[in-house]
Amino acid sequence: MNLQLDENGRLRHLLTTEGIPRELLTRILDTAESFTGVIGKSVKKVPLLRGRTVINLFFEPSTRTRTTFELAAQRLSADILNIDIATSSASKGESLLDTLRNLEAMQCDAFVVRHSESGAAHFIARHVSPGVAVINAGDGRHAHPTQALLDVFTIRREKGAFEPLTVAIVGDILHSRVARSQIHALMALGTGEVRVIAPRTLLPAHIQRLGVRVYEDMDAGLDGADVVMMLRLQRERMRGALLPSEGEFFRRYGLTEQRLERTRPDAIVMHPGPINRGVEIDSAVADGPRSVILHQVTNGIAVRMAVMSMVLGGGAETAGSGREEVAS
Ligand code: CP
């Protein structure tokens, strides 16, 4: 059963980019594009989700995702509540399901969920009442679909079509829910070539089955790339010694200005954040002219507006009418 699409192929929940067809991905990106106009206006609001309630339920820390979901909900005129898990009754032993049931009893319409366990968002989606939507804001190593969507949205805005592009994803692929979600989205959108570059210890088994090319040598993997997507070393998810040292990792896989010369002259540099400067990326590159890292953050608002409006019954069509109502 496909939990996240309804019988008409519309988005009911957003749990993963895996299995989302190209047409629907494109519709999400087009809807996000329509919202970028709203974000640039002095009155940054459309009434699309007026009267709807969204709950941010973050069991793991976040700066970008939580804040941009909050801003996105506010731009759509929804009410949004942030549950502080550290001070919630979860700390007294209340189960996830009981937490959900109680929040649902407050008549909320959607949950945005981040959790350390892979599969947590699917679990919640299976247990919410009909009509309540779940958006995965990152579950364990599994998926971070809105991050991947804002990444492909940024690539489309910077580069246009996906077909001619070579995208290199570099670093801790093994623990990265972002990389997995990016690969599914990039493949579905018809990206010319998707490469992953990492030491063998940080590569998932059978990653080639997703259609990517694997490189252990960074210079070879960067050759001719149009997009370089750097990833954070996820120390909090590592068990055992997978790396000799951070210094050694930077020497072999850190993105420096010198290494960037292997890519195309107009290649862009991306990173989902948070950045570990001097571990996976040099500051001169992160803050340099080819970096679009902060554009990714800005684009996250429009993409999360698109996803929220779609799962809550708005869509590209209503996005247009709502925007006009406010802008006129
Ligand atoms: N990229 C990302 O998920 O950042 P946060 O952990 O700050 O939300």
Phi, psi of 22 (to 5 degrees): -55, -40
**Residue 100: HSE in the Cβ half-sphere, 13 Å Cα cutoff:** 20
Evaluated on CA atoms 272, 229, 125, 24, the torsion sign reads positive
- Distances in Å between the alpha carbon of 289 and those of 10, 201, 265? 39, 32, 11
Q: Calculate how far, in angstroms, residue 84's C-alpha sits from the geometric centre of ligand 1.
A: 16
From atom 6 of ligand 1, which residue's Cα is the shortest distance away?
62
Q: Calculate how far, in angstroms, residue 8's C-alpha sits from the geometric centre of ligand 1.
A: 32
Q: What is the pLDDT of residue 165?
A: 98
Q: What pLDDT, in 10s, does the model give residues 198-218?
A: 999 999 999 999 999 999 999
Q: Which of 62, 178, 180 gets mutated to test ligand 1 (max ligand atoms within 8 A of its CB)?
A: 62
Kindly list the structural domains of the chain, giving each domain's residue range(s) and its CATH number in brackets, ordered by start: 22-143+297-327 (3.40.50.1370), 145-295 (3.40.50.1370)
Calpha distance 71→264 (Å, rounded): 35
Q: What pLDDT, in 10s, does the model give residues 5-28?
A: 999 999 999 999 999 999 999 999
- Distances in Å between the alpha carbon of 30 and those of 35, 212, 237, 297? 9, 26, 34, 18
| Contact status, residue 128 vs residue 100, Cβ threshold 8 Å | yes
Strand pairing of 193-197 and 110-115? unpaired
Q: Is 110 left (phi over 0), alpha (psi -120 to 50) or beta?
A: beta
Q: Calculate how far, in angstroms, residue 275's C-alpha sits from the geometric centre of ligand 1.
A: 10
Q: Calculate how far, in angstroms, residue 109's C-alpha sits from the geometric centre of ligand 1.
A: 23
Q: In this model, does residue 318 exceed pLDDT 60? A: no
Which has the closest alpha carbon to 58: 5, 104, 115? 115
Q: Calculate how far, in angstroms, residue 11's C-alpha sits from the geometric centre of ligand 1.
A: 23
Looking from the CA of residue 272, the nearest atom of ligand 1 is 1
Evaluated on CA atoms 37, 43, 47, 51, the torsion sign reads positive
Residues with CB under 6 A from ligand 1: 62-65, 138, 147, 272-274
Calpha distance 96→98 (Å, rounded): 6
Q: Give the list of residues 6+ apart from residue 240 with CB closer than 8 angstroms, or none.
A: none
Window from 73-77, 129-133, 321-325 with minimum mean pLDDT: 321-325
From atom 3 of ligand 1, which residue's Cα is the shortest distance away?
65
Q: What pLDDT, in 10s, does the model give residues 256-298?
A: 999 999 999 999 999 999 999 999 999 999 999 999 999 999 9
Please indicate whether residue 317 or residue 182 has the higher confidence score (pLDDT): 182
Q: In this model, does residue 315 exceed pLDDT 60? A: no
Q: Calculate how far, in angstroms, residue 115's C-alpha sits from the geometric centre of ligand 1.
A: 12
Q: What is the pLDDT of residue 324?
A: 42
Looking from the CA of residue 138, the nearest atom of ligand 1 is 3
Q: What pLDDT, in 10s, does the model give residues 107-139?
A: 999 999 999 999 999 999 999 999 999 999 999
